[in-house]
Amino acid sequence: MTLSPKLIQKYNQPVPRYTSYPTVPFWEGNLNSRKWELLVRKAFQLIGEEKGLTLYIHLPFCENLCTYCGCTKRITKNHGVEDPYLEAIFREWSHYLGLFKGSPKIAGIHLGGGTPTFFSPQNLKFLISKILKSAEILPDHEFSFEGHPNNTTFEHLQKLAKLGFDRVSYGIQDFDLTVQKAIHRIQPFEKVKEATENARKLGYTSVNFDLIYGLPHQTIATLKETFDRVSELKPDRIAFYSYAHLPSAFPAQKSFESYLPNEQEKRALYEVGKEMLLAMGYEEVGMDHFALPDDPLCSAKRSGNLHRNFMGYTTSPSEMLIGLGASSISDIGLGFSQNEKKIEVYEQILKENRLPVTKGHTQTEEDQLIRKVILDLICRGKAEIPFIIWEKLPLENLNVLFEMEKEGLIFRDQRRIEVTTDGMAVVRNICALFDMRMVASKSQKVTFSKSI
Q: Which residues are annotated as a binding site for [4Fe-4S] cluster?
A: 62, 66, 69
Cα–Cα distances (Å) from 333 to 35, 97, 139, 260, 369, in that order, read 15, 18, 23, 39, 12
| Of residues 61, 39, 43, 62, the one with CA closest to residue 52 | 43
Q: What is the DSSP letter of 45?
A: I
Burial level of 103, CB count in 10 A (0-12/13-18/19+)?
A: exposed
Cα separation, 116 vs 128, in Å, equals 12
Annotated binding site: 56, 62, 66, 68-70, 113-115, 146, 173, 185, 210, 244, 329
Does residue 325 contact residue 356 with C-beta atoms inside 8 Å? Answer: no
- H helix runs in 32-170, sequence order: 33-43, 49-51, 82-97, 121-132, 154-162
How far apart (Å, rounded) are the C-alpha atoms in residues 398 and 405?
11
Sequence ranges of the binding site for S-adenosyl-L-methionine? 56, 68-70, 113-115, 146, 173, 185, 210, 244, 329
d(CA 290, CA 292): 7
Structure letter (DSSP) for residue 428: H
End-to-end CA distance of the chain: 16
Strand partners, 324: 57
